[in-house]
Amino acid sequence: MSTAERSSANDITVNPIFMQHLAAYEYASQFTGDKIVLELGCGEGYGTVLLAKSASKIFGIDYSKAAIDKAQKKYRADNIEFVCSDVNDLGFDDASFEVIIAFQFIEHLKDPRAVLLKIKSLLKPQGIFLLSSPNKKASIVQHPYHFREYDREELEGLLRNYFAKVEIYGLQFSARVAEFREKRRQASQGLARLDFLKLHQLLPRIIRQRLFDLAASGLSRKIYSENKDLLESITTADFRVAKDNLDNAIDLIGLCQG
């Protein structure tokens, strides 16, 4: 189930993007040991199952029934429960979770304030909220699935309205990933030049999303066919979480408490 909105372990043409997302889960696993965890926007569950290796119990939540059905079939474990639900109607009691994860999630929210309030209420005292989101300053394309992307100052400012302690980190990347991103940037710009009047911006959002999916899929196949060895060589080891050089980080990661 690979679209421009979701990466998939089963689509080798987007392997660098999948590894980028998986690297964030590897980082998060240090916080989930023997904890009760909630993951919002779990998709097909590849990150949920990774966190389940350390968590005592994890709930993976997604609004997409297709994604949850796939996760339930593919990943079975006694400490994993996948639930199809809207984030505003979860049905959990306050202070139910020690860790809440929301990766590649907040940018999809038109108004994140109610969701952040809900997340805070679901956390136990001293619980941890961990999120990732594309870094606006490093974005290659304008993404029609995203209502808003954030830079470091904007994301930190938003989170400090709800959490007493906020630390912002960046997901940095290797030269191999930089090479892939440059090829993707050039291909995307070449396609964008075909619509030099930006007429696509006049279309309904749902149509722009479908067109974006088609274009992204075609570009991914083309880039992969021309750079197979490069794309297949990229692993989670090509990414690291750090506090330096945040403006150039591919994703921002927020670590929140209190």
- The H or E element that residue 36 is part of is strand 36-40
Task: Indicate if the pLDDT at residue 82 is higher than 90.
Answer: yes
Asked if the model's pLDDT at residue 6 lies above 60, the reply is: yes
Per-residue model confidence as pLDDT tens digits over 22-35: 999 999 999 999 99
Would you state the pLDDT for residue 115? 94
Q: Write the CA distances from 195 to 88, 132, 139, 144, 201, integer angstroms.
A: 38, 31, 19, 15, 10
Kindly tell me if the per-residue pLDDT of 146 is higher than 60. Answer: yes
What pLDDT was estimated at residue 198? 66
Decide: residue 113, CB within 10 A, 0-12 exposed, 13-18 middle, 19+ buried. Answer: exposed
Q: Does the pLDDT value for residue 42 go beyond 80? A: yes
Tell me whether strands 36-40 and 57-62 are parallel, antiparallel or unpaired.
Answer: parallel
pLDDT tens figures, 178-200: 999 999 988 877 666 665 656 56
Token readout for 167 is 């630390």
Q: What is the dihedral of CA 15, 16, 20, 22, to 10 degrees?
A: 20
Q: What are the structure tokens assigned to 180, written together?
A: 């892939």
- Confidence label for 203 from pLDDT (cuts 50, 70 and 90): confident
The DSSP bridge partners found for residue 240 are: 172
Residue with tokens 């987007």: 14
Task: Give the mean pLDDT of 79-84.
Answer: 96
Give the residue with greater pLDDT, 116 vs 204. Answer: 116
Look over the chain and give the mean of its residue pLDDT values, rounded to a whole number: 90
pLDDT score of 2 more than 70:
no
* pLDDT class of 1 with cuts at 50, 70, 90: very low
What's the mean pLDDT in 190-212? 67
Q: Which of 136, 159, 157 has the alpha carbon at shortest distance from 146?
A: 136
The whole-number pLDDT of residue 57 equals: 98
